Chain A
Amino acid sequence: MAVKDYIRKRFFPHIWCPGCGHGTIMVAIIRAIENLGLEKNNIAAISGIGCSARISGYLDFHTLHTLHGRALAFATGVKLNKPELTVIVPMGDGDACAIGGNHFIHAARRNIDVTAIIMNNSIYGMTGGQNSPLTGYGDFATTAPFGNMDQPFDVVKLATGAGASFVARTTTYHVNPMVKILEKAITHKGFSVVEILSQCPTQFGRRNKIPSVVDMLNSYKTDTTPIGSKEKENNPDLIERGIFIQEERPEYCAEYDKVMERASKER
């Protein structure tokens, strides 16, 4: 199938600004699903609020556009009752780690078989460029006019500490590896977290002296390195990309099946 077979034309044109990385991610999600041969009827895309969240409406799956930060809580209700559905949750950085931070760590702790895709552009785009929990120290935002005094989360460490059984990071510069990582994340039985660095030229680049999309994309090339590379030893500031965690652990829906079995025996 072609990419256009997975989207809802009725919804277009999309809302994303020229140069935004989110469209690249949407196509990568579609490619991954196509490569895996998944049926559209067997996929649910559940999102919260923000630029990233609009992905769900554009995709021709069962789609649920929910509340800011709450997508994983809705997804938990869907997945537990329809375990046969592949559940994908595209989220923004503020969506996932600020207002949705509690739901994020608890979904990871339960290891429910949902793929959380954190489209990290380090900014609240839709509301006009406020700093998020993933905005770097010293970066500028409309609510950090003198430079951000907050320290950002490291999503990979956060997800790992919370118990996610698949944790990866990639960028919109690395499209082919992104597709491969998404395939593995979607196939993985358990809670999968994929952080994707995604450029926001309009709200982040403009305020942080990198207004060019090309420069932003190039920074993903120069500022990142594969996990465990020599470059990282020489330059500890480099951001590692690749798959950090991929482990088989008890998955929530499967565990619930066991509970039902024990309950029926006790009865």
Chain B
Amino acid sequence: MKKEVVFVQGNEACVRGALYAGLGFFAGYPITPSTEIAELLSRRLPETKGKFIQMEDEISSMCAIVGASLTGKKVMTATSGPGFSLMQEALGFAVMTETPCVVVDVQRGGPSTGLPTSVSQGDVMQARWGTHGDHAVIALTASNSQDVFAITVEAFNLAETFRTPVVLLLDEVVGHTREKLVLPKAGEINVVARLKTSVPEGTDYHPYLPRDDGRLPMSDFGGVHRHNVTGLTHDMWGFPSSKPDIVYGLMHHLADKIETNVNEITRVKEFFVDDAECLLISYGSAARTALHIVKNRRARGEKLGLLELQTLWPFPAKLVRERCSSANHIIVVEMNMGQILGEVKKAVKNPDGVFLANRIDGGFITPSDVLNFIRITQGKGM
């Protein structure tokens, strides 16, 4: 059977991926450049018996999806930098209460209102450390509509598997570039269902007692188990506790469930990495520019490679160190002041061999922006 092909923006690819993954509820607030996601879902969700609500702000949007997730739905919100800032409070609540949800941030130039209609990748660290307190988080990204579809499904899968919020860091160029998307058939991409408790009615259900495999089966609000959910540190019943041993266990559980599963969470794409003398590391729309350069230079016999990161957090430090071990130079291509550069420098054996090729003026990073850096690393002038 012929596959269905559509011509869509990255934002629409995200919507289609979310529906493929079983999205049941979306709450959001209009903000450029993410608004198309809310607009499309305001039409698609009611058609598919899902629920859509436009809330009064991003704070309440984030709260509403967490509430909805507890009733058993797969949930998502979408925003951009300023709205993402407002969501940080409730994002931390989702971390603490281990509530699965997907938060899409279609990045634009910041800080503050910044460049509302221009591209940026300045929210990488906000995704990591935006909410207060020690915590681990999963953040994914993609560089084209086809990958956006797949990574959106992955975002839902990881949210369910690890009972955690997953941040999907798109950017204005990925979100608004209209291109081909071959729609995967049902079953083609694995979809992880909500893990629900098998504890029968009348038997004590412990919402925060991990199974042997570390997973925490859930019980829907409105189901047979009446349990407590709180943003306070809590025991296995979900009741508030400030006992040091309980707090210690909870804090480590929240970090370990993600940090010890880096390999399972890591998604990368590799282009000519093995024999690369100069390795580019990039992600999101910037990786499109990086890939263009790599293909172009390979055709001339220059040994360039690209490591495209799709998982930004937890940062795949071990994989990056391995892939960088044989390259003479590493160039991180990103549209911020070096937010992933710092992580790469921390990961590799020779941080002095890592350079930044970036752009932060709202313009999309072009091949010539990057090529100048490559010339410098090759000992040539600009």
Q: CB-CB contacts of B89-101 with A at 8 A, as 1s and 0s?
A: 1100100000000
**Stretch of A19-27, A58-66, A199-207, A220-228 at the chain-chain interface:** A58-66
Given contacts A81-B51, A85-B222, A267-B47, contact A74 B63 (CB under 8 A): yes
Q: Are B73 and A263 in contact (CB under 8 A)?
A: no
For A259, give the chain B residue with the smallest CB separation. B46
Please give me the residue from chain B that is nearest to A257 by CB atom: B46
Known: A81-B73, A256-B51, A263-B47. A74 touches B67 (CB 8 A): yes
Q: Do B47 and A74 touch across chains, with their CB atoms under 8 A apart?
A: no
The stretch of A36-44, A117-125, A166-174 in contact with B is A36-44
Is B43 part of the contact surface with A, judged by Cβ < 8 Å?
A: yes
Contact of A264 with B56 in the complex, beta carbons under 8 Å:
no
Asked if A77 and B64 make an inter-chain contact with CB atoms under 8 angstroms apart, the answer reads yes
**Residue B273 is within 8 A (CB to CB) of chain A in the complex:** no
Q: A57-B230, A78-B71, A259-B46 are in contact. Are A67 and B222 (CB under 8 A)?
A: no
Instruction: Establish whether residues A77 and B226, one from each chain, have CB atoms under 8 Å apart when the complex forms.
Output: no
Give Cα A61 to B232, complex, Å.
Answer: 18
Give the complex CA separation of A267 and B49 in angstroms. Answer: 12
Contact size range, B = 35 or more
Asked if B176 lies at the interface with its beta carbon under 8 angstroms from chain A, I say no
With both beta carbons as reference points, the residue of chain A lying nearest to B229 in the complex is identified as: A64
Residues of A within 8 A of B227 (CB): 62-63
Chain B, 287-323, CB within 8 A of any chain A CB = none
Main secondary structure of the interface of B (DSSP, over half): mixed
* Residues 61-105 of B contacting A (Cβ, < 8 Å): 61, 63-73, 75, 89-90, 93
Q: Is the CB of B56 within 8 A of A62?
A: no
In contact, A264 and B47 (Cβ under 8 angstroms): yes
A46 CA to B66 CA, complexed, in Å = 12
Residue pair A78, B51 in contact (C-beta under 8 Å): no
Q: Kindly name the residue among B93, B221, B230, B239 whose own CB sees the greatest number of chain A CB atoms within 10 A.
A: B221
A73 touches B71 (CB 8 A): no
Given contacts A78-B67, A81-B68, contact A65 B27 (CB under 8 A): no
- A76 vs B229: C-alpha distance when bound (angstroms): 16
Q: Hey, what's the 0/1 contact readout for A1-40 against B, CB within 8 Å counting as 1?
A: 0000000101100000000000000000000000000001
Complex CA gap A70/B230 in Å reads: 13
* Secondary structure call for the A interface: helix
CB proximity to A under 8 Å, residues B7-54: 24-25, 27, 43, 46-47, 49, 51, 53
Q: Given A65-B231, A73-B55, are A40 and B64 neighbors across the interface (CB < 8 Å)?
A: no
Task: Looking at the assembled complex, report how far the CB atom of A115 sits from the nearest CB atom of chain B, in whole angstroms.
Answer: 16
| A156 part of interface (Cβ distance < 8 Å) | no
Q: B224 on the interface (CB 8 Å rule)?
A: yes
Q: Is there contact, CB below 8 Å, between B66 and A77?
A: yes
Nearest Cβ on chain A to B101's Cβ, whole angstroms: 10
Q: Which one, B53, B67, B90, contacts A75 given CB within 8 A?
A: B67
Inter-subunit contact B67/A106 (CB<8 Å): no
Q: In the docked arrangement, what's the CA distance between A166 and B232, Å? A: 32
User: Residues on A close to B: CB < 8 A?
Assistant: 8, 10-11, 40-42, 44, 46, 56-57, 60-67, 70, 72-78, 80-82, 84-85, 102-103, 106, 256, 259-260, 262-264, 266-267
Which residues of chain A come closer than 8 Å to B184, judged between CB atoms?
A: none
B377 to A: closest C-beta gap in Å: 48
0/1 interface trace, chain B 181-222, chain A, CB 8 Å (1 if under): 000000000000000000000000000000000000000111
Q: Find out whether the CB atom of A57 lies under 8 angstroms from the CB atom of B240.
A: yes
Residue pair B230, A67 in contact (C-beta under 8 Å) = no
Closest chain A CB from B158 CB (angstroms): 21
Bound CA–CA A46/B73 (angstroms): 18
How distant is A53 from chain B, measured CB to nearest CB, in Å? 10
Residue from B59, B61, B90 whose CB has the most chain A CB atoms within 10 Å: B59
Cβ–Cβ < 8 Å partners of A70 in chain B:
59-60, 63, 89-90
Q: How far is the CB of A149 from chain B (nearest CB, A)?
A: 28
Known: A70-B63, A260-B46, A266-B47. 19 other contacts (CB 8 A): A10-B239, A41-B224, A62-B226, A65-B232, A70-B59, A70-B89, A70-B90, A73-B60, A73-B64, A76-B55, A77-B27, A77-B53, A77-B64, A77-B67, A77-B69, A80-B25, A102-B60, A260-B47, A263-B46
B248 CB within 8 Å of chain A: no
Check B239–A11 contact: CB distance below 8 A.
yes
Q: Which residues of B contact A256 (CB under 8 A)?
A: 46, 51
For the complex formed, measure the closest distance between the CB of A20 and the CB atoms of chain B, giving whole angstroms.
Answer: 18
Partner of A61, one of B223, B226, B230, B237: B226
Give B334 Cβ to nearest chain A Cβ, in Å. 33
Residues of A within 8 Å of B90, CB to CB, are 67, 70
List 21 A-B pairs, Cβ < 8 Å: A40-B226, A44-B222, A63-B226, A64-B229, A65-B228, A65-B229, A65-B230, A66-B231, A67-B93, A70-B63, A73-B63, A74-B64, A74-B67, A77-B27, A77-B64, A77-B71, A81-B51, A81-B67, A103-B56, A106-B55, A106-B56
Cα of A80 to Cα of B24 in the assembled complex, Å: 11
Within the complex, the shortest CB–CB distance from B221 to chain A, in Å, comes to: 5
Q: Are B231 and A263 in contact (CB under 8 A)?
A: no
Q: Give B48's nearest chain A residue, CB to CB.
A: A263
Name the A residues within 8 Å of B361 (CB-CB).
none
Q: Determine which of A62, A67, A259 lies in contact with B63 in the assembled complex, contact meaning CB atoms within 8 Å.
A: A67
A267–B68 CA distance with the chains assembled, in angstroms: 25
Inter-subunit contact B55/A10 (CB<8 Å):
no
Cα of A82 to Cα of B75 in the assembled complex, Å: 14
Q: What's the Cα separation between A62 and B231 when bound, in Å?
A: 15
Asked if residues B222 and A84 are in contact (CB atoms below 8 Å), the reply is: yes
Q: Residues of B contacting A57 with CB < 8 Å?
A: 228, 230, 239-240
